Structure 1
Amino acid sequence: MEKLVEQVWDYTKHAKFYSYRPNYAPKTIDMLITLVGGKNLKVADIGAGTGNLSIMLLERNCNVVSVEPNDAMREIGIERTKGQSIEWVRATGIDSTLENSYFDWVTFGSSFNVMDRNEALNEAHRLLKKGGYFSCMWNHRDLNDPMQKIAEDTIIEFVPKYTRGTRREDQRPIIEARKDLFDNIVYIEEDFYFHQSIENYINAWRSVKNPYWDLETKEGNELFEKISQKIIERLPKEFDIKYTTRCWSAKKYK
Structure 2
Amino acid sequence: MNTGSLKHGDFTGLAENYSKYREGYAPTVRSALIGLLDRSADQCDAVDVGAGTGIWARMLAEGGFRSVTAVDPNEEMRTTGMRDSKQFPIQWRAGKGEDTGLPDACADLVSMASSFHWVDFDLGTAEFRRLLRPGGWFVALWNPRHIDDNPLLVDIEAELTRLKPDLRRVSSARTGLNETLTDRLTACPHFEDVVFLEGRHTVQQSVEHYLGVWKSVNDVQVQLGEENFRKFLDYVKERLVDLETVETTYLTRAWAARRAD
Q: Corresponding residue for 2:251?
A: 244
- 2:16 matched residue in structure 1: 16
User: Shift of the alpha carbon at 1:83?
Assistant: 4.5
In structure 2, the partner of 1:230 is 235
Query: 1:118-167: per-residue Cα shift (whole Å, max 9, x none)?
Result: 21110010000010000000011224131320211222221112221364
* CA distance, structure 2, for counterparts of residue 84 and residue 59 of structure 1: 8
Amino acid paired to 1:47: G
Cα drift, residue 251 of structure 1: 0.4
Match of 1:137 in 2: 141
Equivalent position SS for 1:105: strand
Structure 1 residue 7: Cα displacement: 8.2
For normalisation by structure 2, the TM-score amounts to 0.88
In structure 2, the partner of 1:59 is 62
Alignment of 1:13-92 (within 5 A): 13-18=13-18, 19-36=20-37, 37-40=39-42, 41-62=44-65, 63-92=67-96
Alignment of 1:133-212 (within 5 A): 133-146=137-150, 147-165=152-170, 167-168=172-173, 169-170=178-179, 171-178=181-188, 180-210=189-219
Deviates more, 1:68-77 or 1:160-169: 160-169
- Change over 3 Å in CA distance of 1:167–1:174 after alignment to 2: farther
Percent identity of paired positions between Structure 1 and Structure 2: 32
| Residue-by-residue CA offset, 1:12-34 (whole Å, 9 max, x unaligned) | 11111112111101111111111
Inter-partner Cα distance in structure 1 for 2:205 and 2:258: 36
| Separation in structure 2 between the aligned mates of residue 162 and residue 190 of structure 1, nearest angstrom | 27
Query: Which residue of structure 2 aligns with residue 3 of structure 1?
Result: none
The runs of 5 or more residues in structure 2 that have no matched partner are 1-5
The CA distance in 1 between the partners of 2:145 and 2:88, in whole Å, is 31
Structure 1 moving runs of 4+ over 3 Å: 212-215
Q: Is the 8 A contact 1:101 1:129 kept in 2?
A: yes
**Gap regions ≥5 residues in structure 1:** 1-5
SS for the counterpart of 2:69 is: strand
Q: CA RMSD in A?
A: 1.9
CA distance in 1, matches of 2:118, 2:139: 15
Amino acid at match of 1:161: D
Which secondary structure does the structure 2 equivalent of 1:45 belong to? strand
For the 8 Å contact 1:128–1:252, the answer to whether it is kept is: yes
**CA-to-aligned-CA distance 1:210-234 (integer Å, 9 cap, x gap):** 1x5339xxx8222111111111111
Q: Which amino acid aligns with 1:207?
A: S
